[in-house]
Structures are given as structure tokens and as C-alpha cells.
Amino acid sequence: MEMVIYMKGLDCPHCGEKIRAASEKVSGVREANLNFMAKKLLLNVEEEFAETVFNGVKKIAADIEPDVVISRIDGAAENTEDLVFRMKGLDCPDCGEKIRSAVEHIKTVRSAELDLMAEKLIVSAEAGNSAAVLSEVKKITCDIEPDVEVSVFENSDTGADEDDDLRPELIRIAAAAVIFAAGIALRNTGYALWIFLAAYIAAGYDVLFLAVKNILKLRPFDECFLMTAATLGAFIIGEYPEGCMVMILYQLGELFQSLAVRRSRKSIASLMDIRPDSAFVRRGNEIVRVSPETVSAGEIIVVRPGEKIPLDGIIVSGNTTVDTSALTGESVPAEAAAGAEVLGGCVNISGVIEVEVTKRFGETTVSKILEMVENASAKKAKTERFITRFARLYTPCVVIGAILLAVIPIIMNGYNSDYVYNALECLVVSCPCALVISVPLSFFGGIGGASARGILIKGGVAMEQLAECGTAVFDKTGTLTDGTFEITGVYPAGRSADELISLAAMAEQGSNHPTASAIMRGFGGTPEKADITETAGRGVRAVSGDKTVLAGNSKFMDENGIENVPVIRSSGTLVYIAENGVYAGAVEVSDSIKPDSEKTIKKLSEMGIKTVMLTGDRREAAEVIADRLGVSEWHAELLPDGKVSAVEKIISGSRGKTIFVGDGINDAPVLMRADAGAAMGGIGSDAAIEAADVVLMTDEPSKLIEAIKISKKTKGIVIQNIVFSLAVKAAVIILAVFGIANMWAAVFADVGVCLIAVCNAMRARKI
């Protein structure tokens, strides 16, 4: 029987593969397949073992990924839909995680993912329940974050319209600071307590309200509770200035945190500027200004100098230069004339052009890129998920420790306000804000910095894989070489060179393979018509009347009993030709190495990354290219499934992660199988954007080096923030336990560390 198991919360492909492999070994399982994108494990099981298998898979998942929730899917439950909600004004990662977790417990909801940077909540729910889910999400959000507005997400939403919203907060904090300063000036008078209390309430009335509300709802362990307990405790033991200042600095830290998040969101908004607002369409004798969404494929649009090209298409009249920097990061404009393909989002610089639209707006390259970048921060790295889980345990543990720090000495030695003061310091330190906000902010910054250079990275997971790259595997044709083939040698046997090329063209006329295209260009005429039969990875058979022509590799000749086929040493691809069972000769077709391929391989080797080349070409041709480039290892004469097998072997023996670089069209299976797949020359390629984890928008292999460097620097910033934050907090907690630290040190360990970590995280945007 077939069993379908839904793995709610599965976001790590590597862990998913571990679960699949372990499940296949469970007694009663014949076969296990993983659909990672749908989060489904498809099992072929013996019916009598169904319950045992399900329980076994649950145990396996709990061991490998404790946060994944396992459930069986029946036919009705498979009918799901994705709902996307705008969470306007959500800046607190801790509150966002609470909302996400609560939404995931709604009965009709399968999974919920929060994209804090894009202010989006992506919910997978049973179809037909969208209105009820929206109502529940609003209720949950209002309960946890009353100021956040929930609505159905529209494509026009960018989350970049809120900077002015911070002014009231800034005014409130400034007013509280002025009152606090007055309290310091009058601290030796009888009015000091009331002045400090006024400053405290002005700065933190909202924190007090939320703390009480959460305590009543039995959700005490959050930053509002910690700040309230610590600051009120300071007032109770007579430390009015410390209690007041902690609240003011906490609110100042929250303000800077919101500012950092919103500035990062602006990088999305600036990218959205490439989305055109209107299109001028020729309809009848008029040119009409319309929304790009209303333009159909086949219509003619007019683009004037200085305007963005609104949709993908082909120029039918006019000449111009096109600025593609918004998509590729390349600053040099490209010439474009009639017949050239142009992409939406690029800028027409010099001449008026008329463009025949080839794709509707939602299918254009720019739309796919924007969708990918918008959703990138929802694909969280392992580090992000670890920090989220860590924060859940860290705060309660420190709170319990603080209580014990106050209670145990009092029981043993009697009451002393110093014990309470030390415990209050620990409460201030225990906020995990620096970690929870700076880690996703760093990844988001790195993704934004990469996209500005024409490198699209699909989330923190892909960025971590790139940063840990130990082996880079390249497809040869179109990746390391230009992929533009031409005839470079003709070796006839018993006939002229022209006759041999004519036979080759007759056989290859039905193929769109680069080798076949080169032969057709070399022939330059119309070949004799024939019935074509192709054998994948071997060659073709062409039959015309009493003439049968075979064209293919040496194996194809052997399989068809062709004798006297010579061994020809060549750096190109050899197409052997036979006519009516007799060897007729060979045609050599070659492509050239890209200008920066050799530099790329050399640089990767200097970085300690092993390089491997895979190709379907002959061993002789592959060996010549491999020697010229200096790759560490190469494999030739591979069929498409052979490339997948080769990558699997490389992964099993690789140190670090394995990155496969291909053209994104023919190599989709290998791109999916590698730890991370990088599609090169992705501009205009839908398949590249869909299949790969990383899209290098130009045809330069050296872009991979840039992507790895950005990823390494981003991950370095993440590690710096984690180590720095934990080290400072641990040091201050230890000093507080022994009564050495004071409240100001605790404030630095919380607010100061958070600000430093956030500022450090924002460096990732400037890579």
C-alpha cells in the first residue's frame, strides 16, 4: 500500500534526506521517496506493517529534526492552498515567532512560515478555509502584537512605507529622557521618586501593559516580562535611576532594532523599483498607456529612451542600448537591434523601440526574480532555526536561575537587597534580542547584497551551503565553455569532405543539440529529407529511400556493427558517420573555453575548493579541456542520469558541501541533487530560476567565486554576532552571580550588545 506522510516544519533538505533514508530501513517499507517542496514522504509499505511504519517514521523524525510534526495524509487532506498575509508593523522577531507558532496550531493549518523581512506570513491550510484562517490569524496577532495590522498580501506590498511611524516612539523616548535628567538633578529631594516614576511610565507603559497581559494568559517568559520584573524590582529596592534608565535604554534598543529591520526592508523596496508601473501598447492606430498586467503575449509595446522595458519580448523595430544592471549587476549597456530579445526591468537608453511581448507580466523574468527575492528570507538557514529554538530555552532558564540566585542566599543568610539586585541584573541580561534579530538580519543583508551584483540566492539555507562549499562541480558545455560550436575538422573515408558534411547534415537536421546546429551551419544548405530516429546519448539514424545514415559517437558505431572505425585524437567532439553500414568518416565539432573559466578554477583551488568537471563528451575531448583549465577531477561520456550518479558519489566523498554549476535547463536533475545548485546565465531562463538554489545572472563562471565570498562573509558576521552576544551575556551573568557587575553592565549586555550585533549585521548589506 501507498502511505503519504506530511512532515510539517521540514525546511532542511539534508535532514529530509536523512529521514527518508532511515525510513527506508524500517521493517515493512519497500521504498521511500521524498518530495521536499511539498514536505511529503511517500512510502510503499506492506499493509500489515502500516501502523508500525508510521510510528517508526515519527521516532526517526523526532531524533533527526525534533521540530518536525509528522502526520498521515488522507485523500481529503491533500487539498491544500497557500495563503500569504501581510503583517504590517511587525518588527519583533520574538513576537513574530509566537504568532507563527500559534497559527501553526490552528486546526485547518498544515504549516506556517514567517518572513519577518518581507512582513509576510505564509500559511499552508486546507482549501476553502481562507476566510476562517485570516480571522484566526488576526485574532492571534491582536492578542500578541496589537499594533500589527493583518491583511491578505498583495504583490504591491513592499513594507517600506513605515519610517515615519517611528517618530512618535522617538518623541516619547526623548521626553522620558528629559524627565529622567530632571530626576537626576533632583535626586536628593523628596520629589525624586515621583519624577523617576513619571519617566519610567512615559518610557515603558506599553511594556508594562503587555507584561501584565501575557502573565494573565500564562505566557510570562518574554522580553516585556523580563524588563518589567527587572525594572520594578529596581524601584522596590530603591534603585530608581537604574530601573528608569534600563527601561529607557530598552525602548531605545527596540527603536534601533525596528529601524534596522525597516532599512533592510528598503532593500526589497529598491529592488521593486525594477518592476515597471505602466506599458505603452499599440492598439489599432493609437498608443495606449496601460498596466503591464493587462498586456497579452503577441501585443506590440513602444518603449522610449529612459523608460523601463515593462515586459519580456523581441524587438521588432528600432535600435538601442539596454541597461541590464538591475538584473545582472553589469554596468556596461548592451546593444540591441531588431530581432534581439529584451527583458522587463531593463532600461532602454538611447532609441525608441517597438517590442513584441513574448510573456505575460506574471511569467516574465523580472516577476520571477522579484518573487524569489521576496521569498528568500522565509527559507531559513540552520543557524537561524537553531537560534529560534535556543531562545525558547535560554530565557526561561535564565529567569529560573535569577530566582534561585535571589532566593537561595536569602534562605541561607537572611534578606539582603544585594541578592535581589544581582538577580535583577540577570533578568536584564536574559533577553535574547541580539541573537534573534541579528542572525536573520545578517542573512537578509547578504542576500540583498548578492542580488545587487546579479547573484540571486534563495534564502539562508543556500547561503550556508555556499559558505561551506568544499567541492565545486561544473558542467562543461555552456558553463566552462561558450557552448557555441563550429566544425573544426573533417576526416572523410572514401569520399570528399563536402559529401561527408552533407551526410552528417542529413542525419542531424532534426536535432537541436549544439553539435547538430554546428554541422547544419557548416553545411549551409538544405539537406536531403529523411526519417530520423534518435538514441539518447548515442546518436541518430536517418533513412531516406535506400540510404541509411548513422551519425553518433564510437559506441553508437559499435552497437550498429560498423567496422574499421579509426581512433582519432581530438580536443573536440567527434561525430562518426556511416552510410549503409560502411564507415564514411568523422566530423570534429569544438567549442571554446570562456575567457574567465581558467581564472575561476585557479581561484577556487587557491580557496581550497576542489573542482570537478562533468561532460557527455568523449574522454579525449574532456581531457584536453580539463588539462587546460586545471580541474582537480573530471568525468566524461556521461548520460544525464550518469551526471546525477557522479554527483552523488562526489557528495559521499566530499569534505564540505558540494555545489553543482550548470546552465539550469538541461541540468535541472543535477542542480536539484547537489547540496546547492547554481544555474549560470539565468537571465531569461525560467528553468534556471525554478531549479537552482543560486542563480548567476550572467555567463561568467567567476560569479560563483563572488557568491561564495559573499556567503562566507555573511556567515562570518552571523558567527561573530552569536559568539559576541553569548560571550558578553555569559560574562555579565557570571559577574552578577558574584556581585561584581552592576545594572549598567547588565544594560550593556542587553541593549548595548543588541545594538552592536544589529549594526554588525547591517554590514552584510554593504558586502
Cα separation, 252 vs 231, in Å, equals 15
Boundary (domain end) residue, out of 53, 77, 101: 77
CATH number at residue 556: 3.40.1110.10
Counts of helices then strands in the chain (DSSP H, E) = 25, 30
Cα separation, 550 vs 581, in Å, equals 8
| Strands (E) located in 250-366 | 279-283, 286-290, 300-303, 313-317, 320-323, 334-336, 341-342, 347-348, 353-357
Note whether 615 and 685 are same-domain residues.
Answer: yes
Catalytic residues: 475
Note whether 173 and 248 are same-domain residues.
Answer: yes
619 closest CA partner among 632, 637, 633 = 637
Note whether 327 and 400 are same-domain residues.
Answer: no
Cα separation, 348 vs 90, in Å, equals 38
In-domain check, residue 343? yes
Q: What is the pLDDT of residues 118-142, one digit of tens each?
A: 788 888 888 778 888 999 999 999 8
Q: Are strands 486-492 and 582-590 parallel, antiparallel or unpaired?
A: antiparallel
Q: What is the pLDDT of residues 77-95, one digit of tens each?
A: 446 777 889 888 887 777 8
Q: What is the pLDDT of residues 577-619, one digit of tens each?
A: 999 999 999 999 887 888 889 999 999 999 999 999 998 877 8
CATH number at residue 341: 2.70.150.10
Q: In Å, how far from its chain's centre is CA 60?
A: 27
Q: How many CB atoms lie within 10 A of CB 137?
A: 24
In-domain check, residue 705? no
Cα separation, 219 vs 395, in Å, equals 12
Note whether 462 and 539 are same-domain residues.
Answer: no
Is residue 154 over pLDDT 70? no
In-domain check, residue 93? yes
Structural contact between residues 422 and 737, judged by C-beta atoms closer than 8 angstroms: yes
Domains identified in the chain, total number: 6
Cα separation, 586 vs 497, in Å, equals 10
Boundary (domain end) residue, out of 126, 157, 188: 157
C-alpha cell at position 228? 518589567
- Compute the average pLDDT of residues 726-746: 85
Give the per-residue pLDDT at 76. 39
Q: What is the pLDDT of residues 672-684, one digit of tens each?
A: 788 888 888 765 4
Residue ranges making up the domain that contains 109: 79-157
Q: What is the pLDDT of residues 3-39, one digit of tens each?
A: 888 887 676 666 777 888 899 888 889 888 887 666 7
Note whether 476 and 604 are same-domain residues.
Answer: yes
Give the per-residue pLDDT at 159. 47
Sheet of 109-115, strand order: 109-115, 120-126, 80-88, 149-152
758 closest CA partner among 96, 97, 260, 117 = 260
Give the per-residue pLDDT at 13. 64
In-domain check, residue 687? yes
| 73-77, 289-293, 448-452: least confidently modelled range | 73-77
Q: What percent of the chain has pLDDT above 90? A: 21
Say whether 586 sits in a helix, a strand or coil: strand
Give the per-residue pLDDT at 612. 94
Note whether 62 and 99 are same-domain residues.
Answer: no
537 φψ region: left (φ > 0), alpha (ψ -120 to 50), beta (else): left
Q: What percent of the chain has pLDDT above 70? A: 86
Note whether 145 and 172 are same-domain residues.
Answer: no
159 closest CA partner among 311, 272, 14 = 272
In-domain check, residue 755? yes
CATH number at residue 645: 3.40.50.1000
Q: In Å, how far from its chain's centre is CA 379?
A: 6
Beta-carbon contacts of 21 under 8 Å, excluding residues fewer than 6 positions away, are: 32
Report how far apart, in Å, the C-alpha atoms of 566 and of each of 557, 570, 573, 737 are. 11, 12, 15, 84
Helix (H) or strand (E) holding 635: strand 633-635
Q: In Å, how far from its chain's centre is CA 194?
A: 52
Note whether 747 and 609 are same-domain residues.
Answer: no
380 closest CA partner among 371, 388, 372 = 388
Buried/exposed code over 280-319 (b: 16+ C-beta within 10 A; e: otherwise): bbeeeeeeeeeebeebeeebbbbbeeebbbbbbbebeebe
Beta-carbon contacts of 341 under 8 Å, excluding residues fewer than 6 positions away, are: 312, 313, 314, 315, 358, 684
In-domain check, residue 316? yes
Chain position carrying cell 567496422: 563
C-alpha cell at position 309? 522595458
Residue type, 473: V
Give the per-residue pLDDT at 38. 66
C-alpha cell at position 156? 504591491
Structural contact between residues 138 and 150, judged by C-beta atoms closer than 8 angstroms: yes
C-alpha cell at position 699? 555567463
Note whether 382 and 258 are same-domain residues.
Answer: yes
Q: What is the pLDDT of residues 257-285, one digit of tens each?
A: 677 666 665 655 555 556 677 899 998 88
450 closest CA partner among 277, 260, 678 = 678
pLDDT band at residue 665 using 50, 70 and 90 as cut-offs: low
Cα separation, 86 vs 265, in Å, equals 13
Structural contact between residues 372 and 458, judged by C-beta atoms closer than 8 angstroms: yes
Q: What is the pLDDT of residues 173-225, one digit of tens each?
A: 899 999 999 988 888 888 888 999 999 999 888 888 878 887 777 766 667 77
Average pLDDT score, the chain:
82
Structural contact between residues 538 and 553, judged by C-beta atoms closer than 8 angstroms: yes
Cα separation, 388 vs 434, in Å, equals 12
CATH number at residue 150: 3.30.70.100
Is residue 537 over pLDDT 80? no
Is residue 382 over pLDDT 90? no
Q: What is the pLDDT of residues 453-508, one digit of tens each?
A: 888 888 788 888 899 999 999 988 778 888 778 888 899 998 999 999 999 999 99
Is residue 331 over pLDDT 90? no
Residue type, 390: F
More confident residue, 234 or 314: 314
In-domain check, residue 122? yes
Note whether 621 and 684 are same-domain residues.
Answer: yes
Note whether 84 and 35 are same-domain residues.
Answer: no
Cα separation, 297 vs 177, in Å, equals 60
Note whether 227 and 190 are same-domain residues.
Answer: yes
In-domain check, residue 148? yes
Q: In Å, how far from its chain's centre is CA 115?
A: 12
